[in-house]
């Protein structure tokens, strides 16, 4: 149904519509200067399919680089038995989150079984809800949950401009329009996902079982989710009331203040994969920082908790980023 909603006029301002459609014959390689963004590549007629995002090639890997299929990350790829599509696009997120077995020597015992890295996108309303699930003991990538989110209180015109500005530069505005669903539906699907992983049960309510969200800062769960719940006229779910602010763990473990994901990656000398500010890529990069910190011996624990009735947020670390 969401697919049918896409109208050609939505892209009249964009060059994207005139670009190659899936399986078009244009496949001549394009030489791309280092750091050349995917948006620029698309607007110059790069044959990369819309809905796919460029990943930084891993130097150690001999496999040819492939863009990630963003229909697949949302459980909406309909071309899984098309060999050409599978050859062209990455359908395996594990690729960016490998665990080096020898890296676990310094690891400390963890109270949590799983880490759910969450990195929302969208300042006015939430536009993207990406979650990467990591095993806190083995650091291994377990699963991911990714949805593009359709704003509730904005006009169609406003949404088009907002998405063009936000995702147009990554060349993924088309897949956004094809797949985005309202926040309320995203939460319903997410609840199915955490239930399947045995992390939460609607009948029992409360916080996650043996797992916790990791966010980069307090904004996602302290500010944005409650705001969006008001706009969407729903109650704040009980499992979104406590979290781990990675910046606080980072500050207490390395004794250094990090203002954001990019600072942490620079300080830890980690290369960024994918596109910064595309939620699924940011979540992947934050998950890589979590793996790095776990391997260094950091312990992941809750840093903030909201009172279920007063709604007041308590910060549990004395030494924290304000």
Task: Please state the closest distance from residue 195 (CB atom) to Zn ion, in A.
Answer: 25
Site for Zn ion in 30-69 (CB under 5 A): 69
Residues in the chain: 322
Cβ atoms of residues 48 and 41 within 8 Å: yes
Is 277 catalytic? The answer is yes
- Report if residue 77 touches Zn ion, rule: CB under 5 A: yes
Is 121 catalytic? The answer is yes
Closest to Zn ion by CB, 81 or 309: 81
Part in contact with Zn ion (CB under 5 A); list of ranges 76-84, 107-115, 130-138, 278-286: 76-84
What is the DSSP-derived secondary structure letter of residue 96?
Answer: G
Site size with Zn ion, rule: CB under 5 A = 3
Cβ atoms of residues 126 and 224 within 8 Å: yes
Buried b (16+ CB within 10 A) or exposed e, 294-305: bbeebbbebbbe
17, 91, 276, 277: which is the annotated catalytic residue?
277
Enter the tokens of residue 217. Answer: 């800062």
CA 178, CA 148: separation in Å to the nearest integer?
A: 9
Task: Please state the closest distance from residue 79 (CB atom) to Zn ion, in A.
Answer: 5
Distances (CA, A) of 39 to 14, 36, 44, 51, 121: 11, 8, 9, 12, 18
CA 243, CA 221: separation in Å to the nearest integer?
A: 7
Closest to Zn ion by CB, 87 or 196: 87
Distances (CA, A) of 123 to 105, 260, 311: 40, 17, 22
55, 121, 125, 242: which is the annotated catalytic residue?
121
Closest to Zn ion by CB, 69 or 300: 69
Task: Please state the closest distance from residue 248 (CB atom) to Zn ion, in A.
Answer: 37
Part in contact with Zn ion (CB under 5 A); list of ranges 73-81, 100-108, 144-152, 162-170: 73-81
> Given candidates 14, 53, 72, 171, which one binds Zn ion under the rule CB under 5 A?
72
Enter the tokens of residue 50. Answer: 């819309």
Closest to Zn ion by CB, 68 or 228: 68
Closest to Zn ion by CB, 175 or 293: 175
- Report if residue 172 touches Zn ion, rule: CB under 5 A: no
Active site residues: 121, 277
- Write out the residues near Zn ion by the rule CB under 5 A: 69, 72, 77
């Amino acid at each position: 149904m969401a697919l049918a909603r896409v109208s050609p006029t939505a892209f009249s301002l964009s060059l994207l519509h005139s670009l190659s459609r899936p399986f078009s014959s244009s496949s001549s390689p394009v030489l791309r200067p280092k750091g050349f963004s995917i948006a620029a590549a698309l607007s110059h007629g790069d044959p990369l399919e819309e809905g796919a995002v460029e990943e930084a090639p891993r130097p150690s890997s001999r496999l040819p680089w492939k863009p990630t299929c963003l229909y697949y990350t949302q459980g909406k790829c309909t071309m899984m038995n098309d060999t050409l599509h599978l050859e062209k696009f990455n359908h395996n997120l594990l690729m960016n989150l490998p665990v080096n077995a020898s890296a676990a020597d310094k690891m400390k015992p963890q109270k949590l079984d799983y880490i759910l890295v969450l990195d929302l996108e969208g300042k006015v309303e939430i536009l993207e809800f990406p979650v990467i699930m990591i095993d806190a003991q083995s650091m291994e990538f377990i699963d991911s949950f990714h949805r593009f989110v359709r704003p509730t209180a904005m006009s169609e015109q406003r949404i088009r401009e907002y998405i063009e500005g936000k995702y147009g530069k990554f060349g993924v505005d088309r897949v956004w329009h094809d797949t985005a669903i309202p926040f309320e539906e995203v939460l319903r699907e997410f609840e199915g996902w955490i239930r399947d992983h045995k992390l939460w049960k609607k009948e029992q309510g409360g916080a996650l079982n043996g797992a916790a969200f990791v966010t980069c800062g307090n904004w996602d769960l302290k500010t944005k989710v409650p705001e969006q719940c008001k706009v969407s006229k729903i109650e704040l779910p009980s499992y979104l009331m406590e979290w781990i602010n990675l910046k606080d763990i980072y500050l207490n473990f390395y004794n250094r203040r990090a203002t954001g994901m990019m600072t942490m990656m620079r300080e830890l000398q980690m290369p960024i994969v994918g596109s910064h500010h595309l939620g699924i890529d940011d979540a992947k990069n934050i998950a890589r920082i979590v793996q790095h910190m776990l391997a260094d011996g950091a312990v992941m624990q809750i840093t903030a908790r909201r009172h279920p009735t007063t709604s007041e947020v308590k910060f549990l670390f004395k030494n924290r980023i304000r």
